[in-house]
Structure 1
Amino acid sequence: MKTRNWKVALAGECMLSRPFAMHEEPEFLKVGELLKDADVTYGHLEMNFADYDELTWPARGQGIGSFMMSDPEIAKDLKWVGFDIMSTAHNHSYDFGPEGLLATKKYMKDAGIVTAGTGADLELASGPGYVEKKNGRVALVSTSSGNQHFMWASLPKGGLRGRPGVNPQRLNFEFMVDGQTAENLKDFAKKLNIAKAPKHGRPGSFGIQIPGSQQWGDPDSFFVGDRCEIISRCHQRDLERNLRSVDEARAMADLVIVAHHFSVSDGPRGDTPPQFVRQFAHAVIDGGADIYVGHGWHRTLGIEIHNGKPIFYGLGNFFAQSEFIQRVPYDSYDAWGHDVDRLPMLTPAAHPLHPGLDTPSDTWWSSAIIQLEMDEHKVKRILLHPVEMGRDSTPQANQTRRTGKGEHHNTEGRPMMAQGEDAVRILDRYRRLSEPFGTKVEIRDGVGVIDLQ
C-alpha cells in the first residue's frame, strides 16, 4: 500500500468581525498562500455568525466577556483565505443561545467549511466533522473546557429534546494543602459555616462551599499533603466519550485532528498548560489522534512531540477584531462598569469593553501559521511562520496598524506576516516554551523549524 504523505496547515483563534478578502498587501497575501499550500487547513472559529433577526436575546448574562457575533458573509472570506475545517466549541459558542450556535453551523456550511464541536444535541456536538480532500479524508473532533452548565449539549430523554450546545470536556479540581493550611481552612470554614462534604475527591478530603458558587453545585475539595498544589483532572465520563469520538474518527478517516478549547487554568493563566490539558492531549494522541491543538488563553504555548505526533498546547490568536463587534448587548457594558442608566448614549466604541484589550499584551497580537509535513501518521518537520495582528510582540504592544481616529486607538486585528525583530521575538517564545517538552525549535531566516527526521 502506498504511503500517504500529508501537508497540514494550522492557524489559531479567529475573532473576526470585518471582511478581508479585498486586501492585497504582499504580507497579507502571503498568509493566504501559506494556508492554501496544504492538503488540509484547520483553524479555530472564536466567533458566531448570524443575521440579527435570527436571534432572540443574549443567552449569557454574567461574567466579563465579549459577545461574539458577526456578519455571516465573513464566513465566505474564511473559505477564500484557505480554511477547510474549523472547530466551533469554545466559551462563546452559546453567547446568543441555540439560535446563534445553530446559525453559525449553517453559515459555515454554506461557505463550504466543515465544523465540529457544537450541535443540536450532545451526539451531534461530540461527533467528528469530516472533510474530503484529494489526499484523503480528514476528521476533526472539537471540545471545550470551562463552559457553564447551560452551554453543555445534552441527549434527548423522557420525551424531551436534547439541548443544543458545545461538546464539553468537564474538569475535576482538587486542592492539596499542607497540614497547617488544612487546619486554617477548616477553622475558616467552621467560623463562616461554609464547610460541606465534597461530592468528588479522595477519602479523607474536606470541602468548602463559597457563597455565590452554590448555584454551580459541588464544593471545592481539599486534602492534606506535603505541600500546596492545585490538581486538575479530566471528568472521566466526558473523557471516555471524547475518546470514543476519536476512535470513530480514526476508523472513518485518514487523518485525525483534535481541537481542545480551554478557558480555565490551574490558577492564573501562565505559559505552562494545566494538568488536565496535558492529560487530555496525551489521551487523545494515545487514542488515535494524529494532531492535538489547544486554544483558549489567546496566547502561544509550547509544542510537545508525543509518540511521534505533535501537541500544540496554545495556538494563540489569528484574527483579533473583537473591538469592531457592532452590536454589543447590555451585559457587556454592565460588566465593564459603564453607566447602564445612560445606555442609549453608550456605543460599541466605549472602552474598555472587551477582555485582552484593556491592558498591553505581548502575546495577544501574534502567533504563527504552522505547517506540518507528515509521513502517514508521523510528523517529519514543523514550520512556524510568524504573524502579527497590528501590534508588536513587546510588553508595550506598540501599535503598527490602527483603524479609526478616536481617542482610543483600535487595532486592525488582521493577520500579516511578521518581519524583523518582531518575527524573531514571536518565534523565540515558541523556542523557550517548547524546550521543557524536549522539543527543539530552530530559527532559520525568520521561520521556526522543528526537524524530526
Structure 2
Amino acid sequence: MMMIMRRWLTALLLSASTLCSFTAHAEPTVSIVFMGDVMLADHPGQRIKQGHNPFAPFAQLLDSADVRVANLECVIARGGKAEDKPYTFRAHPRVLKLLKRHMDAVSVANNHSGDFGRTAFAEMLGRLDQAKLPFFGGGQDLSQAHTPLLIERKGLRIALLGYDEFFPRSFEAGDKHPGVAWSEDEQVVLDIRRARTVHHADIVIPFMHWGEEHQPRANDRQRELARLMIDAGADAVVGTHPHVVQDIELYQGKPIVYSLGNFIFDGFDDADNNTAWVLRLNVDRKGVRDAHIQVGRIDRHGTPHPAGQPIPINLGPAMPLP
C-alpha cells in the first residue's frame, strides 16, 4: 500500500508540475515599465558628457523589467536649425549609449521632436536605427508614424502606439515627409484596431503626449480620448507632457495613468515638477494583471531618485488615487 501511495503521489506531483508548466506557457506574464519625459539636452546632457548617468538611481528597477519605455523629450542630432519657440532641446548623440543601456523603446511623439526641424528629426531616426533602439510615435512618413512598435517577450506580442496632442501640429508626419503621429480620434481608433487585427498584438498600449502643463488633474479632452481608446481595444493608456503627475482612472477595468510627470528633466523649482512616477504594468494575454508606481524625486541636476516603497494601483472597482 505504501508503494502504491508513493507512486500515486509522485504521479500527482508530476502532473501538477506539468500543469503549472503548461499554465505558465499558456499565460506568460510580462513586466512593462513606463517613464515620463526624458530630456537629455542642457544640464543633463552636460553631466552625461562628464561621465554621469542620470538613469543610475533607477537602474535596478529598470533592469528588473522585461520592457522599458520612455518619452524622449528632445531631438538627438548634430544637425538642424532651432525653431522659433521658447524652448528647444537637442541632445548630443553620445546620449544614445545610455539610452540603449536602460531603454527598450522610446516614444518620439511629442512637441520637442521637431525643435530643430525635419532634417534633425530624420537624423535622429537614423541614429536610433543605427543604435538598434526601437522608437514609435513618429517616422520617416505618415505610415511609419502610425505603425505600432511590436515587442515580443515570452511569446506575448505587445503593440506600442504614440501620439502627440500638443502644438505645433506643423511637425506632423506626412505622406512624403518625416514627423510625429498626431492624435486624430478616428485615426487613433483605426490604429488600435489594426494593431489587433493586422499586427496580431496580444496587448495594445497607447503612450500619449497630451494635457495641460502644470495641471494636477486630467482635462475633459484627455478623459474622453482615453475612454475612446479603451473602447477601441487598448489594454491601458499612459500619458506624459504636463510636467507634473496627474490622476489615475480605471475604465472598463483598465488603467489610465494620465501623466507620469518628468523623469529626467532640469530647470524646474517646484516639488510637483520634480516628482516622477515610474509605472510598472504586469500583463498577460488577458490584459493588465497588476500595476504599481514607484515615486521618484528629481534633484537639481535633473536626475530622479527613488522615494519610498512602490505604491500598488488597485485595479478593483474602488480604486484610490495614489
Question: How many Å apart are 1:143 and its aligned residue?
Answer: 0.7
Higher CA-based Rg: 1
The separation in 2 between residues aligned to 1:72 and 1:103, in whole angstroms, is 10
Question: How many Å apart are 1:439 and its aligned residue?
Answer: 2.1
The separation in 2 between residues aligned to 1:377 and 1:313, in whole angstroms, is 22
Tell me which moved more, 302-311 or 312-321.
302-311
Match in the other structure for 1:364: 273
1:39 and 1:134 in contact (8 A); partners too: no
Match in the other structure for 1:41: 68
Match in the other structure for 1:165: 179
Letter in 2 for 1:271: P
2:294 aligned residue (373, 376, 385): 385
Letter in 2 for 1:166: V
The 5 A counterparts of 1:239-254 are 239-251=185-197, 252=199, 253-254=201-202
Pair 249,76 (structure 1): closer, same or farther in 2 beyond 3 Å: farther
Verify: 1:255 aligned to 2:282, yes or no: no
Pair 133,21 (structure 1): closer, same or farther in 2 beyond 3 Å: farther
1:101 and 1:118 in contact (8 A); partners too: no
The separation in 1 between residues aligned to 2:215 and 2:167, in whole angstroms, is 20
The 5 A counterparts of 1:7-406 are 7-17=31-41, 18=45, 19=48, 29=56, 31-51=58-78, 54-55=79-80, 57-58=81-82, 60-61=83-84, 63-64=85-86, 66-81=87-102, 83-155=103-175, 162-169=176-183, 238-251=184-197, 252=199, 253-262=201-210, 265=212, 269-321=214-266, 357=268, 360-390=269-299
1:85 and 1:140 in contact (8 A); partners too: no
SS of structure 2 residue aligned to 1:73: helix
Question: How many Å apart are 1:22 and its aligned residue?
Answer: 5.4
1:272 and 1:301 in contact (8 A); partners too: yes
Q: Please, which runs of 5 or more residues in structure 1 have no aligned partner?
A: 156-161, 170-237, 324-356, 391-410, 442-447, 449-453
Question: How many Å apart are 1:97 and its aligned residue?
Answer: 0.9
The separation in 2 between residues aligned to 1:149 and 1:416, in whole angstroms, is 34
The separation in 2 between residues aligned to 1:271 and 1:43, in whole angstroms, is 20
Pair 289,20 (structure 1): closer, same or farther in 2 beyond 3 Å: farther
2:301 aligned residue (382, 396, 412): 412
Pair 389,31 (structure 1): closer, same or farther in 2 beyond 3 Å: same
Pair 20,370 (structure 1): closer, same or farther in 2 beyond 3 Å: farther
The separation in 2 between residues aligned to 1:271 and 1:16, in whole angstroms, is 24
Deviations 1:187-237 (A, max 9, x none): xxxxxxxxxxxxxxxxxxxxxxxxxxxxxxxxxxxxxxxxxxxxxxxxxxx
Question: How many Å apart are 1:314 and its aligned residue?
Answer: 0.4
SS of structure 1 residue aligned to 2:60: helix
Letter in 1 for 2:203: L
Match in the other structure for 2:3: none
Question: How many Å apart are 1:259 and its aligned residue?
Answer: 1.0
The separation in 1 between residues aligned to 2:50 and 2:146, in whole angstroms, is 32
SS of structure 1 residue aligned to 2:135: strand
Pair 364,135 (structure 1): closer, same or farther in 2 beyond 3 Å: farther
Letter in 1 for 2:193: D
Pair 281,24 (structure 1): closer, same or farther in 2 beyond 3 Å: closer
Percent identical across equivalent pairs? 27
The separation in 2 between residues aligned to 1:373 and 1:117, in whole angstroms, is 22
Paired residues, number:
290
Pair 23,49 (structure 1): closer, same or farther in 2 beyond 3 Å: closer
The separation in 2 between residues aligned to 1:20 and 1:279, in whole angstroms, is 42
Structure 1 runs of 4+ with >6 Å offset: none
Question: How many Å apart are 1:24 and its aligned residue?
Answer: 8.1
Pair 77,21 (structure 1): closer, same or farther in 2 beyond 3 Å: farther
Question: How many Å apart are 1:41 and its aligned residue?
Answer: 1.5
1:114 and 1:131 in contact (8 A); partners too: no
Pair 370,90 (structure 1): closer, same or farther in 2 beyond 3 Å: same
The separation in 2 between residues aligned to 1:164 and 1:389, in whole angstroms, is 33
C-alpha RMSD of matched pairs (Å): 2.8
Pair 12,377 (structure 1): closer, same or farther in 2 beyond 3 Å: farther
Letter in 2 for 1:284: M
2:237 and 2:255 in contact (8 A); partners too: yes
The separation in 1 between residues aligned to 2:115 and 2:318, in whole angstroms, is 39
Deviations 1:309-361 (A, max 9, x none): 2111001111014x5xxxxxxxxxxxxxxxxxxxxxxxxxxxxxxxxx3xx31
Give the TM-score normalised by the residue count of structure 1. Answer: 0.59
Letter in 2 for 1:48: V
Letter in 2 for 1:278: R
